[in-house]
Amino acid sequence: MSPVESPAYLARQPILDSHQGIFAYELLFRDSPENKKAIIRNGVCETAQVLENVLNNIGLSRLVGNHKAFINCSREMLLDNIFNALDPERFVLEILETVDADGDVVDEVKKYHDRGFEFALDDVVFDENNLKRLEPFFPYVKYVKLDLKENSSDALKAAVPYFKERGMVLLAEKVETEEAFAARMEDGYDLFQGFFFAKPEIVRGKRVDGSLATILRLLQFLRKDPSLAEIDRAFLAEPAIAKALVQYANSQKSFRRRPVETVQDAVAWLGVPHMQDWLMLLLYAQPEMGGSPQCKPLFQNVSQRARFLESLADALDPNGELPAQAFITGIISRMDALVKAPMPTILEDLDVDKEIMNALLHGSGKLGTLLALAEAVENDREERIGTLMKRLSLSNKNLTDSLNAAYGWNHG
């Protein structure tokens, strides 16, 4: 791999608390989308290069905000002191299930623990033999991750008093439904990882408020680089939103000599990127979206997905309609989760391009492939990422640049 295409592919998965707020992120590193194995299982030197590149080029704050970052550790990585340069207050070292608690490894874990690092045990199977194998790690472990697919309901329930008596925090992995989330909450789990927040109960026949369609149209319009006069006309055609924009512009702290009175003044003062941020918040602050959108993991996922898709589309079609269409596709792609209505019902109420509709309903066309790629990145499906990138003729640099753009869009 050339220096230009330095390894910075990253999957980021939120870890949520019992209120579905973000507690931390798990960072999963890859040396390239073509690599079918996690870089974490490859050489220590390559892992160090990826970690350094991600932290230096993207920046930890852009990736996780003020939250903690969980990162996987192999035996080799622990023994080679690869994490010495990391901040123990920001990183949780996650011991992979393949690591045995032999004397050398436990000694290194103790040294990291003495420096202030917190540890997590990954993919714990709650049975007597496995617990005996892991027991030497217990004095240094704060978080225990139990995979819902690898443990029975009885085992998941029994794990709670066992680990809490030892002062550990329970994290349920691969939580994919509201029902599974509720069951683990009842058991007493503290933290949750999975995409359950994106798979809500569907309420058949629910309609989408007309203002949502208007905001979406304005967002797509702004992605097409219109002139100031065109922006003015577009907003004036929607008096309620134009009024809200002027009020918003006046609410921003500044040293203006006079108040903002017109849409033109607001556009000139805020700038188009700031207006797009505002419209995104306005969209997801609609009553049916549940309020306080910027605090919700799903809203952050939507923001980053939309920008990620737009950036990839810009690499494919820099002067065409595809980037603006991709951005809107990303936004609408999770509206079913927030509105709790089926996607066909949502699309009936939104005036979107046929290509966007086909991508969302059938996964077809270039937009559908781009959307599938975004979902593969979010779900850390390495092999599918490589397949889809080849189908789109995208390079590793395209992916890296688009991830940088996406993480810069929302500071989490």
The answer on pLDDT for 38 being more than 60 is: no
The model's confidence at residue 34, banded by pLDDT at 50, 70 and 90, is: very low
More confident residue, 238 or 57: 238
Confidence of residue 49 (pLDDT cuts 50, 70, 90): low
pTM confidence score: 0.59
The 10s digit of each residue's pLDDT in 158-195 is 999 999 999 999 999 988 877 888 899 999 999 998 86
pLDDT tens digits, 258-305: 788 888 888 888 888 888 878 876 776 655 555 444 445 666 777 788
pLDDT at 229 over 60: yes
Q: Could you tell me the pLDDT band of residue 132, with boundaries at 50, 70 and 90? A: very high
**Poorest-pLDDT segment among 34-38, 156-160, 220-224, 242-246:** 34-38
> Given pLDDT bands bounded at 50, 70 and 90, which one contains residue 203?
very low
Confidence of residue 35 (pLDDT cuts 50, 70, 90): very low
Q: What's the mean pLDDT in 318-326? A: 89
- What is the model's pLDDT at position 285? 62
| pLDDT of 1 above 80 | no
> Of the given ranges (125-129, 272-276, 287-291, 402-406), which has the lowest mean pLDDT?
287-291
Q: Is residue 142 scored above 70 in pLDDT? A: yes
Three-state DSSP string of the chain:
CCHHHCCCEEEEEEEECCCCCEEEEEEEEECCCCCCCCHHHCCHHHHHHHHHHHHHHHCHHHHHCCCEEEEEECHHHHHCCCCCCCCCCCEEEEECCCCCCCHHHHHHHHHHHHCCCEEEEEEECCCHHHHHHHHHHHHHEEEEEEECCCCCHHHHHHHHHHHHCCCCEEEEECCCCHHHHHHHHHHCCCEEECCHHHCCCCCCCCCCCHHHHHHHHHHHHHCCCCCHHHHHHHHHCCHHHHHHHHHHHHHCCCCCCCCCCCHHHHHHHHCHHHHHHHHHHHHHCCHHHCCCHHHCHHHHHHHHHHHHHHHHHHHHCCCCCHHHHHHHHHHHCCHHHHHCCCHHHHHHCCCCCHHHHHHHHHCCHHHHHHHHHHHHHHCCCHHHHHHHHHHHCCCHHHHHHHHHHHHHHCCC
- Residue of higher predicted confidence among 29 and 60: 60
What integer is the mean pLDDT of 317-340? 84
Does residue 43 or residue 44 have the better pLDDT? Answer: 44
pLDDT at 298: 65
Domain boundaries, the chain: 3-198, 201-209+286-412, 214-219+226-284
- pLDDT value for 261: 85
Q: What is the residue-averaged pLDDT of the chain?
A: 80
Q: Give residue 39's pLDDT band: very low, low, confident or very high (50, 70, 90).
A: very low
Homologous superfamily of 3-198: EAL domain (3.20.20.450)
pLDDT of residue 21: 79
Instruction: Write down the pLDDT at residue 225.
Output: 81
Average pLDDT value for residue range 78-91: 82
